[in-house]
Structure 1
Amino acid sequence: MDTRLLLVSHAATAAQRAGRIPADDPLDARGLAEAEAARMRVALPGNAAAFVSPAVCARDTALALGLAATVDRTLADMNYGNWQGRRLADLARQAPHDLAAWTRDPDAAPHGGESFSQLVTRMGKWLDALNNPTSGLTREASSHTREVVAVTHAPLLRAAIVYALEASPTVFTRIEIAPLSVVELRRSQRGWTWWPASM
């Protein structure tokens, strides 16, 4: 059976707008309003299996989009290690070489955190598990295409695109994912493909 996957990046948090690295922040009133407005313009399939990152902002977004989603820890945000919650401007002053490496090298990780290359591996395992009926990530659908929606974080959408295209992780800096973006991937006999999101 083929799979159609819609990956949704969560709405912006106040911490993101202030230039902070995420630290499991909830959506503020502005983020909730943006997510609720997105519900009107984003037509998510009603019969889809829905999954969500354990992060509060992702769960808030899924609820605002009208999804009854199952929390999946594999969809958790990138592990930012000791940088979690810190302002990028402060890191640029205090650890400029480390920050520069992290923003350019897919194998560089924040202190105690996860590199983008590691994130691609994690996301790739999740994508491959979608077609494994024993994984718990599948749900029978009435058509020949299984519909899946996952609300998660921008870095995971980047990682999914890189994995689906079998691209080098070095391209991660060239993929921009805005809050509430939707990326559509489809799995068929020829593997994963990236489609323009048809909303």
Structure 2
Amino acid sequence: MTGASLRLVAHGHTAALRRARFGGTDDGLDEGGLRAALARAGSDRHGHGSADDACLTSPAAAATQTASAFGLRPVIEAALADCDYGDWTGRAFEEVARDHPQALHEWLSAPDSAPHGGESVAALRDRVGGWLDGQRARGGRIIAVTHPLVIRVAVVHALDLPLATYRQLDVEPLAIVRLTSQGTRWQLRLGATRAHSPA
């Protein structure tokens, strides 16, 4: 069986991300986010993989723009979409904390809850986890450009951690998480990224 090699890449900065908004309008990378993605691509051309690797992205413009900045040819994968934040979509964290403190507390403390009418963290994990399991079974080299929360729940699923652990993970823009598998389970691979290094 061919092993699976997966790079999960967080898209670059957007205006919504800088303002700590729940999702938001699909407003692509901001100027600083695009500059940072291009600079990262120039300084580490092979750290994000090569044009021969399959590149899948969230439907969000920020994800496809990040992939393009890295010189990759992105294909949209719906399973990599950001969490559906329902009524909170586009609203600032501080605003929701002020207007709906109990609902926000419920969402943060109970991964199965979705007080905003959208997707719970548990539902997001199930969606992303199902996709991850499929990639492990298929094998091959894949680069997936997506959202920080998607990467957090992906790591929790891949390592079979308690779901609440996602709150202890922090994924910065343009961060790269590397997972490998020989078909039975995922392994988190840590190390320096070097030119021509395997995924």
TM exceeds 0.5?
yes
Q: In structure 1, how many angstroms separate the alpha carbons of the residues matched to 2:115 and 2:53?
A: 35
Amino acid corresponding to residue 120 of structure 1 in structure 2: R
Amino acid corresponding to residue 179 of structure 1 in structure 2: P
Matched residue, 2:145: 151
Q: In structure 2, how many angstroms separate the alpha carbons of the residues matched to 1:188 and 1:13?
A: 35
In the alignment of these two chains, the number of paired residues is 188
Q: In structure 2, how many angstroms separate the alpha carbons of the residues matched to 1:102 and 1:7?
A: 25
Matched residue, 2:36: 34
Matched residue, 1:45: 49
Matched residue, 2:5: 4
Structure 1 stretches lacking a partner, 5+ long: 139-145
Q: In structure 2, how many angstroms separate the alpha carbons of the residues matched to 1:96 and 1:127?
A: 33
Structure 2 stretches lacking a partner, 5+ long: 194-199
Instruction: Select which of 163, 185, 194 maps to 1:191.
Output: 185
Give per-residue Cα distances to partners, 1:6-32, cap 9 Å, x unaligned. 000000111221222121221111111
Give, in angstroms, the shift of residue 106 of structure 1: 1.4
Output the TM-score relative to the length of structure 1: 0.89
Higher mean Cα deviation, 119-128 or 104-113? 104-113
Match of 1:19, SS state, is: coil
User: Is contact 2:4–2:183 with CA below 8 Å preserved after alignment?
Assistant: no
Superposition RMSD in Å: 1.5
User: Is contact 2:136–2:186 with CA below 8 Å preserved after alignment?
Assistant: no
Q: In structure 1, how many angstroms separate the alpha carbons of the residues matched to 2:84 and 2:162?
A: 20
In percent, how many aligned pairs have the same letter? 37
Output the TM-score relative to the length of structure 2: 0.89
Match of 1:129, SS state, is: helix
Match of 1:78, SS state, is: coil
Instruction: Select which of 167, 171, 177 maps to 1:177.
Output: 171
Match of 1:180, SS state, is: coil
